[in-house]
Amino acid sequence: MQSKIKTIIKNIDYTLLIFLLLILCAGFIVLDSASVAAAVRYGINYVLLQAAAGAMGFLLIFCMQAIDLSRLLNMERTLYILMNLMLLSVLFFGVSAKGTQGWIELGPLRFQPAEPAKIMLIFCMAKFLAAKKGRLKTWGQLLPAFIYGGIPLALVLAQPDLGTALVFVAILFGMLLAAGGSLWKLGLLFGGGLGAVIFWIYGHLNWGWWLPLQEYQLMRLVVFINPEYDPRNWGWNVIQAQITVGSGGLWGQGWGQGAQTASGYLPEQWTDFIFCVLGEEFGFVGCFVVLVLFFALLLRCLTIAGRSKDLFGALLISGVVSLLVFHILQNVGMAVGIMPITGIPLPFISYGRSALLANMIAMGMVVNVGVYKDPLVF
């Protein structure tokens, strides 16, 4: 027993955890100036709350190493059903916040099922795809995987939570890629799907086709293409985000010195638009450092995946990497104007405790694969 704990502690990938800690700390620094106005208005110390959740997350990561996750594979069916039930319950008992019915209230607790659902999906998908052992070459072999992932995706879309739905799509494609899915078939599906969606929106705008998007979602797409279409309303965030990032310059305005940040030109700057604050106050150099940390973290994850004792572990990590890469691409992309605006937070940096804990658990899974990389140890 003693030796088992020792081995676990020895096997933990501290490089990964150091990257994670650095990213979290960078997040606290940015959050401090991003949340000044909101902190005063709502009387909440965002940094403290976020730090507490971060500490709890590290604790969780360590606790999670007690069991080899690959021994829990038979929980997959239960988890899959639980996940879908959770997402289904949102449709009936969900509480609205910011336009989507994402929240569920359990007594005093309030959480977004979408966050644990991402983790559960990764786990279930990894098990499902590992069982295929790389046999994902024909349409017939790919179809079950799409059905398996498509059910929770449909439930999320029904909320409607377009942002999380896109995260599910990213997880699905990323894991299929790692699992050895036919490259050209996946490319065809991805490219074709993207093309079809663009054509559909084009048809809606020009010929009035029916489109299952709400007005605000459509407007976000319109102003993504032309921010000046409505600069004071829908285009506001797009324009202000770029002004805020761009005015940071090479070195930034300095911590707490961002005029755009301080004057409240960006809504949700402590959550969705936190990267803009980083850009304004710490400049290109600050952004570069944070992006390099993320990049290092992700490459480290992929390295661990390569050392996995089984396909399940490798897929589990590639799912986590998909989750994070998509969040980063979408969140940073929206701040710099190369992605339309969606309510997707920047992992480990945006304020939001459900998301932070979910991401920490995801990191725990990655660490777990590394800890149990040798099948003969235990």
Partner 1 sequence: MSIGSPLWEESKERKQTRKRLILYGFLVTAVFLVLVSRLFWLQVMQEEIFLNKAISQSTRWISEKASRGEIMDRRGNVLVTNRPVYNLTLNYLGLKDQDISQVVAGLVEVLGDPDITVEAVQDSIAAQASRLYEPIVIKRDIPLETVIRLEERRWQLPGILIETSPQRYYPYGGLMGHVLGYVHPIKEEIDQAGYENHGLGDLVGKTGVEKSYEFDLKGTNGYREVTVNARNHPLQEVSNLPSVSGNSLWLTMDLELQKVLEENFDSVLAAVAENYPKAQAGAAVVLDVNTGGLLASVSRPIMYPDDFNGNPLTQEQADYYFNQQPAALYNRAIQGSYVPGSTFKPITGMAALASGNLTPETRITCAGAYWFKPYIKCTGVHGSLNYYQAMAKSCNVYFQEAARRAGIGMIGKIGHEFNLDAKTGVDLPFEGAGLLPSLNWQTIEFGRRSDVINKDIDKQLADLQTTYQSLISQAETDSDKKRLEKELRSKVNVLEARRRERLNSDTIWREADTFNTGIGQGYNQYTIIELAAYTAAIASGGVYHTPYVVDRIYNPDGSLKYQHQTESRKVEVEQWILDATKEAMTTVTRPGGTAYSAFAGLAPGIGGGAKTGTAQPGRVGYSKNKDFDGLFICFAPAENPQIAFACVIEHGHSGSGSAGKVAKAVLEYYFRQEPDEKPAAEQRGELATELGEGRSNAE
**Which residues of the shown chain bind partner 1 in the complex (CB under 8 A)?**
70, 73-74, 130-131, 133-134, 174, 177-180, 232-233, 240, 242-250, 259-260, 262-265, 279, 283-284, 287-288, 291, 294-295, 298-299, 302, 305-306, 309-314, 318, 321, 325, 328-329, 332-333, 336-338, 375-376
In whole angstroms, the minimum distance from the beta carbon of 345 to partner 1 comes to 16
In whole angstroms, the minimum distance from the beta carbon of 330 to partner 1 comes to 10
In whole angstroms, the minimum distance from the beta carbon of 152 to partner 1 comes to 22
Residue among 198 and 299 whose Cβ is closer to partner 1: 299
Q: With the C-alpha atoms ordered 43, 48, 53, 54, is the resulting torsion angle positive or negative?
A: positive
Residue 78, Cβ density class (10 Å: 0-12 exposed, 13-18 middle, ≥19 buried): exposed
Angle between helices 311-335 and 234-246 (to 10 degrees): 100
| Closest to 79 measured CA to CA, from 137, 25, 122 | 122
In whole angstroms, the minimum distance from the beta carbon of 166 to partner 1 comes to 15
**Phi first, then psi: what are they for 90, rounded to 5°?**
-60, -40
Residue among 179 and 349 whose Cβ is closer to partner 1: 179
In whole angstroms, the minimum distance from the beta carbon of 74 to partner 1 comes to 6
Residue among 116 and 174 whose Cβ is closer to partner 1: 174
Do strands 100-106 and 109-111 pair parallel, antiparallel, or not at all (unpaired)?
A: antiparallel
| Strand ranges in the chain using DSSP code E only, listed in sequence order | 95-97, 100-106, 109-111
Residue among 103 and 270 whose Cβ is closer to partner 1: 270
The single-letter DSSP state of residue 96 is E
| Closest to 51 measured CA to CA, from 33, 68, 29, 73 | 29
Q: With the C-alpha atoms ordered 77, 319, 360, 163, is the resulting torsion angle positive or negative?
A: negative
Record the tokens describing residue 236, joined without a space. Answer: 């506001």
Residue among 121 and 328 whose Cβ is closer to partner 1: 328
In whole angstroms, the minimum distance from the beta carbon of 108 to partner 1 comes to 34
Residue among 99 and 249 whose Cβ is closer to partner 1: 249
Region of 363 on the Ramachandran plot (φ > 0 left; ψ -120 to 50 alpha; else beta):
alpha
Residue 81, Cβ density class (10 Å: 0-12 exposed, 13-18 middle, ≥19 buried): exposed
Distance CA 327, CA 349 (A): 11
Residue among 321 and 357 whose Cβ is closer to partner 1: 321
In whole angstroms, the minimum distance from the beta carbon of 27 to partner 1 comes to 17
